[in-house]
Structure 1
Amino acid sequence: MNKSDLILKLQDRNDFLSKKDIEDSLNTLIDYISYSLSKNARIEIRGFGSFSVRKRKKRLARNPRSGKSISVPEKYHPYFRSSKALKEALKK
């Protein structure tokens, strides 16, 4: 499911909201999560999961074409941890 599919599903379940309102709300949510993660904040949605930022350490890697070792600098990446409730729902 992609973003436009999600918007259509939400519109089917909430016929009193326009597609534009749903799209704006979803964009606002995504923008806020992105902004919060850029500030290294943790976002928790109870019953769903939490978003946070993790740091990958500096490491050596190999260039597949030349075979030479290259240094990959440390970098930050988004991380999602699902809640127990979500994990249980997926088991069913």
Structure 2
Amino acid sequence: MPYALFSNAVQVSNAFATKSEVWQHAAARGLVIEVGSGEEDPPRRILDMGYSIHACADLAPITDSAEHGESDIARLIAAGAFNLTSAAAAS
């Protein structure tokens, strides 16, 4: 079953064969953060606010430059579903 990265219920990445590949894709785009719950516990990796990983339909890959980074942004803009909280935090 393929998986993809979603932002506010809109698919924003190509489909990947495993969840692990989606995590790698999200990390490469700066969407993974580490949070610690205490001094003794190791930090956990979580997706930036508004992002999630879900099963998706197996679609043909989108071919854009920068390893689909531009298509990710174009999908968010077209859907009007970009994450304003994350955008404000990044600036």
TM-score when normalising by structure 2: 0.27
TM-score when normalising by structure 1: 0.27
Structure ID, larger Rg: 1
More helix by share: 1
